[in-house]
């Protein structure tokens, strides 16, 4: 049985908001699994699987993988034993279709908290530019970064309203040091 305060956390926000960094810290603080759909996709591509081959171009263009393909991967990941007592999703749900599927997915006995890292657009563009320079992420060149941000505003931002209406949405100021932002997130999560 999951303990009654167990959470399924969605870390939400545009590319460059710091989701990956915060996800690592939160999952450590709460001892829950960190599930990054971007990492799952990149692992799939590295493995050379059929799905990996099919989605490689999509990632390189900065577009979204189809809901059907994403939901297959997420369903299978969330059915693993480590998710029974809570987990943190980073990069999912990214469309309304994914959000609607997510709220129906097991395990259902967990409280949902969607935490948005809120960062102004100018700051995001600068952060993405810096990441591109460091060469850590091949899809983070300027053109693809701009595309990813557009895709976010068009397809992912509406997901916020969906969870606001459900009373499961928490907005956090994403400006500050990594530690400051982490503290803000933890204050919200520990009060739930
Ligand atoms: P991320 O590391 O979360 O920015 O994800 C990298 C890329 O993986 C995205 O630009 C998408 O192409 C793909 N991806 C990750 N998560 C999803 C998702 N939930 N829905 C669709 N595509 C996704």
Per-residue pLDDT of the chain (192 residues; tens, 9 = 90+): 456 679 999 999 999 899 999 999 999 999 999 999 999 999 999 999 999 999 999 999 999 999 999 999 999 999 999 999 999 999 999 999 999 999 999 888 899 999 999 999 889 888 776 776 666 665 557 788 889 999 999 999 999 999 999 999 999 999 999 999 999 999 999 999
- Residue 95, classed as helix, strand or coil, is coil
Q: What are phi and psi of 171, to 5 degrees?
A: -100, 130
* 127 CA → ligand 1 middle, Å: 18
Which class for 165: exposed (0-12), middle (13-18), buried (19 or more C-beta within 10 A)?
exposed
| Radius of gyration in angstroms for the set of CA atoms belonging to the chain, rounded to a whole number | 16
Ligand 1 pocket residue status of 13, Cβ below 6 Å: no
User: How far apart are alpha carbons 91 and 39 in whole angstroms?
Assistant: 9
Q: Please tell me what DSSP assigns to residue 107.
A: P
Which pTM was predicted? 0.93
Ligand 1 pocket residue status of 65, Cβ below 6 Å: yes
19 given a catalytic annotation: yes
């Amino acid at each position: 049985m999951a303990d009654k305060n167990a959470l399924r956390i969605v870390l939400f926000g545009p590319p460059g908001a710091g989701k990956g960094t915060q996800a690592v810290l939160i999952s450590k603080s709460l001892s829950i699994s960190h599930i990054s759909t971007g990492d799952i996709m990149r692992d799939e591509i590295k493995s050379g699987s059929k799905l990996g081959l099919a989605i490689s171009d999509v990632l390189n263009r900065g577009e979204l993988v189809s809901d059907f393909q994403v939901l297959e991967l997420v369903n299978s990941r969330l059915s693993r034993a480590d998710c029974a007592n809570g987990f943190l999703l980073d990069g999912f749900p990214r469309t309304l279709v994914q959000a609607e599927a997510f709220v129906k997915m097991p395990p259902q006995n967990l409280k949902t908290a969607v935490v948005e890292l809120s960062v102004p657009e100018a700051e995001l563009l600068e952060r993405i530019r810096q990441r591109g320079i460091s060469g850590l992420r091949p899809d983070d060149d300027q053109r693809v970064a701009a595309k990813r941000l557009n895709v976010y505003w068009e397809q992912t931002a509406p997901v916020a309203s969906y969870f606001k209406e459900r009373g499961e949405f928490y907005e956090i100021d994403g400006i500050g040091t990594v530690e400051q932002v982490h503290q803000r997130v933890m204050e919200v999560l520990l009060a739930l």
